[in-house]
Structures are given as C-alpha cells and as structure tokens.
Structure 1
C-alpha cells in the first residue's frame, strides 16, 4: 500500500537548517504584487519593496529557506505517494513573533495528521521554524493525495467557515500582472504549469495558472493594508482553502468581514463572475 498510516505518523520528524536574506523577502513581496497597485514610491508600498524600514509579510514563511520542498516531508517512511496526483488543498500559518528580515534557524517537519476521504487521502504536513531566540512560526500544509484513500482511517473534522450574511466591511479589487507567475516562481516554485502554455494545456488549462500560494500572499497583503494599517506584525494566524484557479492578468476581488477578533475573507476572480479562488479563509490578529 503506498501509504502506511502507522509508519508515516510514527516517523521521526525531519530537521533541516534554513536561512533567508532581505533579498529573498523583497523578491517574494514583488512576487505577490507589492509595488504594482499604487505608485511604486508610495511609502506604504516601500515597506515591502525597499530595505529601509522593510517589514515581512507573514505568508513569506511558505517559501522561507526553500519552503515545503526543503522540508522533505514526502520522503518520510510510509508516504510513497504519486506526486503527479497530489493537490495543494489548504494552508495555515501561525506566527509566534514577527518574521525577521533575514534569519537563520531550523525547520522541524513531520506528518501531523492523515485522513481517509475514501477516494483520496488528506495529509497535514507540519513545519515548525525556530531560531536562537525560540519559535518563529508553525506552517501546516494540507495536501490531497488522489487515489490514496480507503485505508480505514478517520475522515477528519470539517474546517469550513461560513461567510457572514451581510455586505463585507471592506472590499478591494486587485489587478494582477500578466507576468505575476513568472515573477513569483523565482521564490522557489518552478512548476512549469505556471509558465509553460504547452504544459498548462496538458493539465487542462488554456494558459498557465497562478500559483495558489501567490494568491494566498496577495490576499493577505490586501487584508494587512486595508484593515491592519499596513502593519504585518499584527498578523497572528492565517488559513485558507484553495477553492479554484486564478489566471495572471485577471482582477482579484478580496472581501473582508470583521467577526470580532478574526477577519473572514473570500477571494475570487472579477472577470469570471467572482469564481472562488480562496475560501474558508480567516486572519487572526492583534
């Protein structure tokens, strides 16, 4: 059996060294659209694009030091899965303190949970980063492995988030550049699905699609700039489910509801009648 639940869940965590520099942060911010939607010299944008007073958008942790590929979780015992049949289902980050502009530390990665959905298995891959001063962040990546279910495991609990039945408290439309995927991929995700039209066609798309984690970062930046006064250090947690594809050159509509202590968010494509891109999305903050 490709997945051995007992072996996978009992496997010792993988510990790897990670490091990042301010150049990596600047490149990531440009990759999620910083500097493109207001004048590039706007002080509110320069906080993301210029080393003076630079801050770090918390979603950067998904690529810091090499991201999930660096963690090596798919090489754990008991996880012999076909990567061609794997889908990125959701992402959840928790910040223990603001992310430094440059840093060095360790990434401890393990399989936190494994659920049986019948025709698919759901893997929750957890990576915990720490430096000399203590814990930095916890990053949970939810992965659907098609054709790997049916092993008799638990189905898991629902993480659906109800959208409030009222108009959003904030709404923002974000034009996304036609070359956004080409820029974002320089932060480490080299999948040709996001660059090569021929490869995208093999995947059933008429053109390359944007990385889900790029939309994830773009949406968080919209929330920080719209609701949190542009202060990235106020973010404590951020989770989302990848609900659909988004194409470079489209306009992302981000809607935000204040639910008292947390922000409920949706993101969709304006050009495709608000076709959902991110759902079950929550930002917690101070």
Structure 2
C-alpha cells in the first residue's frame, strides 16, 4: 500500500477523553511515583505529572488513526521523537479534546519514512488550550517514495559532568501498570508477540520511561511545582527491559533551560536522548 502524501494537512481527531483523579493517580503509579511523591498519588492536594498529557492521547486508537490517514504499515511504526509545549496547568479532572494533523512526511529511503504530526489538546472547563504535542513517527517499511530527507540537526550535550543525576529502577511489572493508562500494545505485555518482534520478552513503554524522566526533572529543578513546566522534548533511542535500572542525567545550560537524557545504568546506552526541558 503506497504512502498517502496527500494526508499532509488533513484533520485527525477529535479524540475525546474524560478523566478524573483516579486516572491521574494510576498514571503516576505507572511511571514510578509512590509514597515519596504523595502529591501525585493521593487525591488530597493532588497534582498532575505533566507527561500525563501525552499518555492521554497516545493509544491504539490514535496510532490507528494516523496509520489510516497516511497509509503507513502499522507493523513498522515506532515512536521516534516527542515534543510537548505546555500552555496551562492540567486540571485533575474533566474532558480533554485533542485534534490535529500530519504536518510533514520525510523519506529516509531504505530506512523508512518519518511522519510529523502536531496536536492541540483543550479542556472542557474553559475550552482553552492546555498543551501542544508534536510527534515524530518512524515507519520502517514506508521509505523510498522519492521525498525529501529530514532537515539536519546538530544537538550536542555540554562537555561537562551532569548537574543532576537521578537513579531509579522500574519494577519488573511496570508495563502491566502503565498500559492501564491507555497504551495496550502487545509488545509490552505478550511474551510471544515480543519474541516475534525480535525481543526476548516484553519491553518497557518508551512513554513510561519518559514519565520517569519527567518526574526526575521536576524533582531536580522545580520540586513540588509540576505546573511550572513549559516544554519537554526528547528522542527515543533504545528499548529497555522491565526491572533494569536507569539514570536520568541533567545539564544546566541557561536560565530555566536544561538538556537531559535517560540511560540504561548497566549498559550505559541511551534510552532517551536529545532532551530539552524548559520551566519557569
């Protein structure tokens, strides 16, 4: 099936999701929060981990909608990069409406295709925009259509030791909890499916590790004030198996802006890289 280049600019959505404090707490538990961060896990004075934002829209229905409009092969889809821009504090309950469009498609020839999709999410209380999500989807089987390549980027981490290092170990059952927030893809739960996909067992959700990193960034830079986040960007690099320890490394660059990445503590491999975090 040929890639549909005419999908650029076509509306995707709206996706509607009603949520309440239980969804906020379930997500927090899914990304490793607990008694040490009770503000994310107890309805009294509850706060929202901002990475909940992408957790609310990235699910099977969303990926199916992108695949349908672009004609990409769902079997080859990987979440490549994620940018989040926060406009307002996320309330602890309500109805979220998300809609957007494919904004660009790039050709990586034999490596596949890159699809860029941008979405805005609004809240039912005041109809104002809460956050913008810019997602890069890598489709391994859809390259070679004669399109242009992605623009070159030149991301460099500071040549110094990190200013903050946060270590954690997701539990061996972490994906079983995280998937209850919406991403029920078999790769993270079904051993047989995972082996067919080339892994020895189910792997962690990339966005689950993203949530661990978000907690680490808030803890290091704006403790107790998750509403002060303005931007969070990253690139997903390598898979991680449940139970393997991670380290989130954070470098100060300029006022209210840091670079970050999350690595596998044992292998030193980048799990998430090219991270940018801005706050107020």
TM over 0.5, yes or no?
A: yes
- Structure 1 range deviating more: 244-253 or 142-151: 142-151
Mapped to 2, the partners of 1:284 and 1:185 lie a distance apart of 28
Mapped to 2, the partners of 1:269 and 1:87 lie a distance apart of 19
Mapped to 2, the partners of 1:191 and 1:102 lie a distance apart of 25
Residue correspondences, number = 274
Normalising to structure 2: TM-score of the pair? 0.92
Q: 253, 267, 279: which is aligned to 2:247?
A: 253
> What is the aligned partner in structure 2 of residue 83 from structure 1?
74
> What is the aligned partner in structure 1 of residue 54 from structure 2?
62
Mapped to 1, the partners of 2:41 and 2:147 lie a distance apart of 46
> What is the aligned partner in structure 2 of residue 100 from structure 1?
91
Q: Is the 8 A contact 1:62 1:68 kept in 2?
A: no
Report how far residue 150 of structure 1 moved: 2.2
> What is the aligned partner in structure 2 of residue 268 from structure 1?
263
> What is the aligned partner in structure 2 of residue 74 from structure 1?
67
Residue aligned with 1:19, SS? strand
> What is the aligned partner in structure 2 of residue 126 from structure 1?
118
Q: Is the 8 A contact 2:86 2:229 kept in 1?
A: yes
Residue aligned with 1:221, SS? helix
Mapped to 2, the partners of 1:147 and 1:13 lie a distance apart of 22
Report how far residue 70 of structure 1 moved: 4.2
Q: Is the 8 A contact 1:56 1:101 kept in 2?
A: yes
> What is the aligned partner in structure 2 of residue 109 from structure 1?
100
- 1:131-165 CA-partner distances (Å, limit 9, x unpaired): 33411111112111113122232212234521110
Residue aligned with 1:259, SS? strand
Residue aligned with 1:223, SS? helix
> What is the aligned partner in structure 1 of residue 23 from structure 2?
24
Q: Is the 8 A contact 1:161 1:281 kept in 2?
A: no
> What is the aligned partner in structure 1 of residue 7 from structure 2?
8
Alignment RMSD (CA, Å): 1.6
Q: Is the 8 A contact 1:93 1:137 kept in 2?
A: yes
Question: Unaligned regions of 5+ residues in structure 2, if any?
Answer: none
- 1:109-143 CA-partner distances (Å, limit 9, x unpaired): 21022111112110012221113341111111211
- Structure 1 range deviating more: 45-54 or 12-21: 12-21
Question: Unaligned regions of 5+ residues in structure 1, if any?
Answer: none
The answer to whether 1:163 aligns with 2:143 is no
Mapped to 2, the partners of 1:12 and 1:251 lie a distance apart of 40
- Distance of aligned partners of 1:231 and 1:158 in 2 relative to their CA distance in 1, 3 Å threshold: farther
Residue aligned with 2:11, SS? coil
Mapped to 2, the partners of 1:33 and 1:266 lie a distance apart of 17
Mapped to 2, the partners of 1:169 and 1:83 lie a distance apart of 40
